[in-house]
Amino acid sequence: MMGAQGARAEDMTVDGGLLGQVRVLPAAADVRAVALLISDRQGWDATAQAAADRLTAQGIAVIAVDLPTVLARTAKEQDACVSPQWAAQDLSHEVQRRLSLSTYHLPWIAGIGQGGGFALALAQQARAATFAGVIAVDSAPLAAGDKPLCPAGAVADVPGIALSSQRRTFNDAVQARAGMTTVAPAKVSLPPAVALASRLTGLVDAGKGVEDLPLVELPAKPAHGVMAIVYSGDGGWRDLDKDVAEYLQAEGVPTVGLDMLRYFWTRRSPEDSAADLAMIIETYRRRFGVDKVVLVGYSFGADIMPTLYNLLPEADRAAVVQLSLLGLSEEASWEVSVGEFLGDSTDAVPTLPELEKIKPGLIQCIDGNEDDDAICKELHDKEGVEVVTIDGGHHFDGDYDHLAQIVLDGVARRADAKP
């Protein structure tokens, strides 16, 4: 059972159903996040408490889950497997009500050792908008005699991170068994408690989660095995971007758009922007159930897209089958400002050097024959690059359906799909 190690006057105990009696460790300051922290097989020990202390010190309220208590509860269930996701969700609701939080926080699920394996399997059962994410350190499977968690009916829409501390080697079998789509398992030269707390705190600090981005979702039943990510111009999500995205959606390409006006209202670094694009790719490939991605950028969005693509992790780059650059200009900026609107950006960088790093066969560059600022014409002599010039200026004379169909035609050739 869970001991009183590290208990404070403000701690409280709550019945977590299948998760047993849990201790709630309030944050030392204003609550920024909530985490269900699951101990290893030996119970709530010094390692679990050290992780909890680090989290609460950083404004993360901890729901301390003792794995032996959980296993004792689940062993009494008559069914062949258990689904503790509902207990975890109800527990989070109850705890946050008792803490009188003004905003509900999707809880993080975290665990060490067998608690990490349990956390991965628990997160796999979750539906969308249930958990913020899952972090497992030195994850290991439950014992053969333990009541297993029921398999999920579909791939979970929960971002997962698996870490191997200086204590153990990451168990690849657990990741496969849990069915999670995670970042590549990472080896860190830190004790388990420090590894878990530092990674979770970093994610909270960064506000990682697609819910924090100015996204527009246009879901569709995938007809071609591909999804589209559309980056708007600096005027925001309207007109061309919106119409092209809706056309793609209508043709069976699930699409998500990013509003550049809102996203780049303050300057973002290329590295941070690429990390967000990677998160969008990983989240929506799972959510839409597709493997392949086409990146579409218009104007401001087109200018930054080559740099973002080059900064993506290798696995995310491999999923991209086409970059459609609409109204591409010679320089990219990383902030939408008055100067940008007036064509006087001070931090602009050339786009052509970034294009040179990309496999030519991926690039589709579309411009209007009256757009003097577009540089697609400079790519005509680059073998493998698709250059398409249509009537109109920077806004293509409003013929957005034609524009979207050109994008689809390119996808058909590159992704072996038939629009």
Q: Is the pLDDT of residue 345 over 70?
A: no
Sequence ranges of the domains in the chain: 12-205, 211-414
Average pLDDT over residues 160-181: 52
Q: Checking DSSP bridges between strand 320-326 and strand 21-25, what pairing results, if any?
A: unpaired
258-276 pLDDT, tens per residue?
988 888 877 788 888 888 8
| pLDDT tens profile 208-262 | 567 778 898 999 999 999 999 999 998 888 889 999 999 999 999 999 999 888 8
Is pLDDT at 6 greater than 50 in this prediction? Answer: no
Cα-based distances in Å from 143 to 54, 114, 174: 29, 9, 12
Asked whether residue 172 carries a pLDDT value surpassing 80, the answer given is no
Q: What is the mean pLDDT of residues 390-405?
A: 93
Query: Per-residue pLDDT tens for 361-395?
Result: 999 999 999 999 999 999 988 899 999 999 999 99
The pLDDT value recorded for residue 157 is: 58
Q: Which band of pLDDT confidence, cut at 50, 70 and 90, is reported for residue 352?
A: very high
Q: What was the pLDDT predicted at 156?
A: 53
Judge if 12-205 and 211-414 fold alike in CATH terms. yes
Alpha carbon of residue 355 to chain centroid: 26
pLDDT (average), residues 123-134: 81
Residue 402 has pLDDT above 50, yes or no: yes
* Residue 181 scores a pLDDT above 70: no
Per-residue pLDDT tens over the stretch 32-78: 999 999 999 999 999 999 999 999 999 999 999 999 999 999 999 99
User: Amino acid identity of 337?
Assistant: S
Confirm or reject CATH 1.10.390.10 for domain 211-414, answering yes or no. Answer: no
Please provide the CATH number assigned to the domain covering 12-205. Answer: 3.40.50.1820
